[in-house]
Amino acid sequence: MKTDFKNLLELLYSDSRENLNLALEMAKSYEPNLEEYFGYTLNDIHIIINWVWKWKPKVENPLAMKKLELEEKLEIETVPKQIGLLKELQHLNLSRSYLKKIPPDIAKLQQLEILDLHHNSYLEPLPIEIGNLKNLKKLFLSCCQLENILPQIGDLHQLEELDVSYNLLTRIPEEIGQLRKLQKLKLKCNKFEKLPSQISQLSNLISLNLEDNQLKELPAEIKHLSNLQELFLGKNKLEGLPTEIGELYNLKDLSIHNNQLKALPVEIGQLHHLEILHIGSNQLKTISSEIGQLLNLQKLNLDYNKIENLPIEIGELKNLKEFFLNSNCLQKIPAQIGELHSLESLSLGWNQLEKLPSQIRNLVKLHTLSLSNNPLGHIPQEIIQFQSLTQLHLANCKLKSFPMEILQLKNLHWLYMDVNNFQCIPPEIEQLSHLRSLSLSNTHLESLPDTLLNISELRNIYARNNPLLKVSPLLENSGRLFTQEPEFPY
């Protein structure tokens, strides 16, 4: 008898639909045994099998599945309690549905490693039994209108990734500190005002996303996240950072944009592994010399601050590839910027620059240069050294004539010169054989040369709001001349 029941179980969980059907027929003789063994009746087995087949008719045997993906099945509002019979399941995806309730029986899926429920905005609080999923490694609950995280979350000791972004959470339970194997924690777009000190116990955490909350401060205990490589704090209400942030020695990506920072702690210079630093949209007036200690920095964003001067130590950032300084109060750039030999993109728009240091000629790897909205009056001769340049922004730079130096930039693809003051451009512009887009709106243009048509890659010529402009029928009918807004911002 025992041998027959064992054979029945093997057939039930085999990979074959034929064996499954055979097992279901045999099971009629073992109904009491089935209920004792599973806690479910034979009818329950039929219910869960048919439920799976409704959505996944090609599955051979639902009971033997290791992965079930039912994302965007909008008709699914509930999961049958018999879900607990899918004991082989390792990955369950029920995201982007109208799911309202998860049954407590989900706790019987002891092989489950991934549970994805994101974008279920009608979902009721999860059952407390969720804490019994002892092998769960990834739990995705973003965009579910959740107002609380169950304290039982702390029982998921194997959890490596937790995403509860885009919810209505106002607090994090202290039990989160028990998730010692957690590597990624996403809390973006909630309503947190502070973090529990227990978050410092997540010693294996690699990535922490706290963007778009109401945080006013960080706990000093954050220093204990010794393995942290990514820290996202943008769009909060931070007025300062704890000095202990300098002890996050493995940090590679630090984002603090859109806060209320007036200064950075000098300890930030201790983050020697930092590769990306985004401090845009704050209230910084100065950048301390310690910035020069970030020798591995590749991307630095200081847009939308009140910075008046850059420290000469900026020249120490030999690995910097992208440097954003738009919308500050800069009147000059230190000569040491010419020492940034790896720089590929430099954005200096919306400042008060009247000239650039001659040392910029050393930035030969530049492919993007933005100088728009500065009172330059002319562009420096050194620009001819930028033979890798593909994108040049010179809008509203008080230019009174077309800079002939631009004609030597043979790899230029996009050229923006709107809101200047010149009546014509030279016929030699055809030398820019790779030009794709040319923007000359609001420049007092009176004519355009037909030689523009010799640039085979040029598809868009924007010349909006030039009332005196006259062009030949050939150019006017080319299909390349437009009057709408330019393809890209200045």
Mind listing the pLDDT tens digit for each residue in 197-232? 999 999 999 999 999 999 999 999 999 999 999 999
Angle at 330 between CA 324 and CA 336, to 5 degrees: 70
What is the per-residue pLDDT across 237-268, written as a single tens digit (0 to 9) for each? 999 999 999 999 999 999 999 999 999 999 99
- What is the C-alpha to C-alpha distance for residues 406 and 415, in angstroms, rounded to an integer? 9
Q: Cβ(209)–Cβ(166) under 8 Å?
A: no
Question: Using CA atoms, how far apart are residues 223 and 218, in angstroms rounded to an integer?
Answer: 10
Please give the pLDDT value at position 9. 85
Token couple for 193 = 């005002």
Calculate the CA 382 to chain-centre distance: 36
Q: Is the pLDDT of residue 489 over 60?
A: no
Q: CA 395, CA 419: separation in Å to the nearest integer?
A: 6
| CB distance 304 to 285 below 8 Å | no
CA dihedral 336, 339, 345, 346 (to 10 degrees): 10
Section 407-427 average pLDDT? 96
CA-to-CA dists, residue 381 to 187, 230, 254, 404, 432, angstroms: 49, 41, 36, 10, 18
CA end-to-end span of the chain: 81
Return phi, psi of residue 434, to 5°. -105, 5
- At residue 487, does pLDDT exceed 80? no
Closest CA to 386 of 362, 413, 402, 403: 362
What's the pLDDT at 485?
57
DSSP letter, residue 384:
G
pLDDT tens string 268-313: 999 999 999 999 999 999 999 999 999 999 999 999 999 999 999 9
- pTM assigned to the model: 0.93
What integer pLDDT is reported at residue 281 of this predicted model?
Answer: 98
| Residue ranges per structural domain of the chain | 1-62
CA distance 262 to 276: 20
At residue 463, does pLDDT exceed 90? yes
Q: How confident is the model at residue 484 (pLDDT cuts 50, 70, 90)?
A: low
Long-range contacts of residues 221-225, Cβ cutoff 8 Å, at least 24 apart: 221/197, 222/195, 222/248, 223/247, 223/248, 224/200, 225/199, 225/200
Arithmetic mean of pLDDT over the chain: 94
Q: Read off the pLDDT of each residue in 409-424 and give the average, rounded to a whole number.
A: 96
Which tens digit of pLDDT belongs to each residue from 7-60? 888 889 999 999 999 989 988 888 888 888 888 999 999 999 999 999 999 999
Instruction: Look at residue 192 in the predicted model and tell me its pLDDT.
Output: 93
The values of phi and psi at residue 430, to 5°, are: -65, -15
Please report, for residues 148, 189, 221, 237, the alpha-carbon distance to residue 168 in angstroms, rounded to integers and kept in the order given: 8, 8, 25, 17
Amino acid 203: pLDDT:
95
Confidence class for position 163, pLDDT limits 50, 70, 90: very high
